[in-house]
Structure formats: C-alpha cells, structure tokens
Structure 1
Amino acid sequence: MIASKQKIAIKGTRHGLTLQLDDQCSYKEILGELDEKLSSNNQAEDDQLINVTIQLGNRYLTQEQKDALKKVIREKQHLVVDSIESNLITKEEAKEWKKHAEVKPFVKVVRSGQVINIEGDLLLIGDVNPGGKVMATGNIFIMGSLRGIAHAGVDGDEKAVISASFMKPSQLRISDSISQAPDYETDGVYMECAYLDEKVSKILMERLQDVIKKRPDLSSFERRMLNG
C-alpha cells in the first residue's frame, strides 16, 4: 500500500516552527492533518512559547479560514501564530501595492506654503523653495533644488530615500526620523541622497551612487519609469 503524500511539513528554525502546507489538497484535509500532527507533538508544561510561521504556498485563504488555522494551533500548548505567508494576494491587495509602488511625476515649482503629498514614489521636475514641502509614502527624487522640507517614507518606510540635484533643505524627514538643516561649509551640495542609517538611527547624506549600493531596491525605480 502506497503511503499518502504528507500534506504538512513541520520544520524547526531558530525563530520557532515553520508549517509548510501542501497547496494542492483540500482545506479540510489540511485542518485534519494539522490537528493530528500537533496533537502528537506533546510538550512539557514548563516549555516556552514557540512562534509558528504558516507558509501557504500558492493557496489563498479567506480571513475566516486563516482564523480557523490559528485556532487549531492556539489550542495546542505553547504555540502561537507569528505570521501567515502566501504567494498569492487579493485584487484589493494588488491595487494597494500598485498604488504605493507607482512613481508620481510632477513638473512644477513648490513655493512657500505649498505642499505635495502623494502615495508611492515622488518624481519632482522642479524646485522646492524655502517654506515649500514635499511628502511621499515612498522615495522622493527631485530634479531641481531642494531648499524646503522633504518627508519620505511617511507611513513608516525606513528604507525610503530623498535625492535632489541640489540639496540645501530646511528639514529632512524619513519615516519618524528628522534631520534639521545641515551646517554646510558651502552653499549646498549637488546630487546628494539622504537615507536613514538604522545602525545609528540617524539621517545621513551621501552620493546617490553610494546610496544605491545600500538600497539596491532603488534600481526598481528605473524599471518602473521605463515601463510607465
């Protein structure tokens, strides 16, 4: 008699347990085998809590189905679901991702008292004058002078950057970090890029070419521009 294919693979990691679910069988079969496998894996009362990551593969689950999975796991002592990962996303999630990944171009001068606030990456062909402000959930690229305020990663993206052809801002912000106007020895700097250094929790400025090495995802900006 041929043994049935294993529907759930349990792997231990330094972060806890990973449950890899077969994405070809029925959801009911997954629940049944999950309950059976976890029931046979008894733990001592004094064991520490173990984080569980569920990998769905190419399977889509509704929120109700995810909650049922979590319930089965929570009923087993010392197990807690840390995350549920899937290769699939909903249309709504795809639209939301696209909205934040899009590059929004503007051709204008942002004057004192004016504000540009967008979702995604901002490409400004023009200047930001003192008293002007540009904000984006993603990166900010300015083909002109930045003399006002720029705030990238508004929703908490600490990997966002701010780049300008001429950089002499009154204030830079990335996520929740703020950098006041630098004490330049010159009248400003050309083609500089500001980024948040997580090691020192400080906004630093370097040449754009050097920052790209630290933020390789910036190369996708060029692809998105070419693909329109």
Structure 2
Amino acid sequence: ASSGRFFAGGRVQVYVGKRRLSPEEREALEQTLRRSGMVLLGVREGEDPSAEAQAPEAGAPPAPHSPSGHTLVVTKTVRSGQEIRHDGDVIILGDVNPGAVVVATGHIVVMGALRGVAHAGCTGNRTAIVAATKLRPTQLRIADVIGRAPDGDAPQSYPEVARIQGDLIVVEASAEKRQVSALEAVGAKEDR
C-alpha cells in the first residue's frame, strides 16, 4: 500500500489547541483528509488532548487494535512534561520533545522528530507501529516490548518505522531506503 494511503478509511478527530478554525480552514482540513481517504469526525478546540483517553489499568487484558477506532491528530509540538494518551491511532504534526510522552492503543506517527517516549499498542497490540521523520526516542515501546535509540546522534535524512519482529523492536527505513537497523534491546519484554 502507498504510504500516502496508510490511514485510508480512518475516522479522524483533530486537536488544534486553543485556536478556533474558520469555516474556510475547516473545509481545507476536510479536503486534505479526504484526499488521504480519511473522514473528519470533529475538531477539538481549546481543550487538552491528554484528556481524550487514559492508558488502560495495569493487569487489564490486551485488547486488539480496532481499525475503526478514532485517530487523534495533534497539530503542534508535544513539549517536555506533556502527555498524550489516546484510544486509537495518534498523528502528531510537529515534534515530540524529550520529556514528553505519547501513548496509544494503535499506531503513533510523528511528522517531525520523536525524541520523547512513545508507547504504541499499549493494550497489547503487537502489530502497532511507531513512525517518525526523525526517530530518536528516549524510550520506545510497542505492546510489551521496550527499546531505545542507540547512543549518539547518528545523522538521518529519511523517515523510519519501528515495529515488532519476534521479541525485538526493529527500525526500517522509509520505503525509499529499505535498510534495517535494530534498536538496542533494553529488555525483550517489559517486566510485569
């Protein structure tokens, strides 16, 4: 599938911070999403995106990711101390700074640098992915597998996608560059 159609069929709720969209801006947003095959369910204005959904309680049984779940689109940088938790996929149009946390039951896609903590598939979805233009997380989790970026800041000029292979998180370069590099294993599985 083409990367431009990755979220085709997705139902999206967009968080725009404290600003209010004009009717023209809202229509432009709807057209942009429609071109990618997504449906705009609503625009959240003036509220905290972390209030959307809290992480599941410890010990809760894993729930499969529902492709019909809502997608949360955050149109700003997530700063240190901020936390976003969502039941579904999360798209961030901005960076995730060190000290920031993003937790989702589905996929996490960052159209910017991911330098904070990301936990995709937090309810046990081992098919979830984490993708970013610059993937340098302080900690990366997918379901019950934990990894981190290697030490040092290696230059990277292409997007990467992290997913589980076996009991490790592996990082694949974008479709244009099919190189594979493994995240250093902090522990193959999270201690429960």
Number of residue pairs aligned between Structure 1 and Structure 2: 115
Q: Residue type of the partner of 2:76?
A: K
Does residue 132 in structure 1 map to residue 121 in structure 2? no
Bigger Rg over Cα: 1
What does the per-residue CA deviation read over 1:139-188, in whole Å, with 9 as the maximum and x for residues that have no partner?
Answer: 00110110111110000000000000111111100001100222356145
What does the per-residue CA deviation read over 1:78-121, in whole Å, with 9 as the maximum and x for residues that have no partner?
Answer: xxxxxxxxxxxxxxxxxx98686322111111111110110111
3-state secondary structure, aligned to 1:151: strand
Q: Residue type of the partner of 1:128?
A: V
Question: How far apart are the structure 1 equivalents of 2:115 and 2:96?
Answer: 6
Question: How far apart are the structure 1 equivalents of 2:107 and 2:177?
Answer: 13
Q: Is the 8 A contact 1:162 1:193 kept in 2?
A: yes
Q: Is the 8 A contact 2:158 2:174 kept in 1?
A: no
Runs of 5+ unmatched residues, structure 1 = 1-95, 213-228
Question: How far apart are the structure 1 equivalents of 2:155 and 2:126?
Answer: 28
Structure with greater proportional helix content: 1
Q: Is the 8 A contact 1:100 1:119 kept in 2?
A: no
1:108 is matched with which residue: 55, 76, 93? 76
Name the residue aligned to 1:173.
141
Name the residue aligned to 1:119.
87
Question: How far apart are the structure 1 equivalents of 2:151 and 2:90?
Answer: 26
Question: How far apart are the structure 2 equivalents of 1:147 and 1:98?
Answer: 27
Does residue 192 in structure 1 map to residue 168 in structure 2? no
Question: How far apart are the structure 1 equivalents of 2:159 and 2:151?
Answer: 17
| Aligned CA-pair RMSD | 2.6
3-state secondary structure, aligned to 2:158: strand
TM-score (structure 1 length as normaliser): 0.46
1:162 is matched with which residue: 124, 130, 133? 130
Deviation at 1:204?
0.6
Question: How far apart are the structure 2 equivalents of 1:137 and 1:210?
Answer: 28
Runs of 5+ unmatched residues, structure 2 = 1-63, 179-192
Name the residue aligned to 2:173.
207
TM-score (structure 2 length as normaliser): 0.54
Aligned residues with identical type, % of pairs: 41
Pair 1:100–1:174, CA change in 2 (3 A):
farther
Question: How far apart are the structure 2 equivalents of 1:113 and 1:138?
Answer: 22
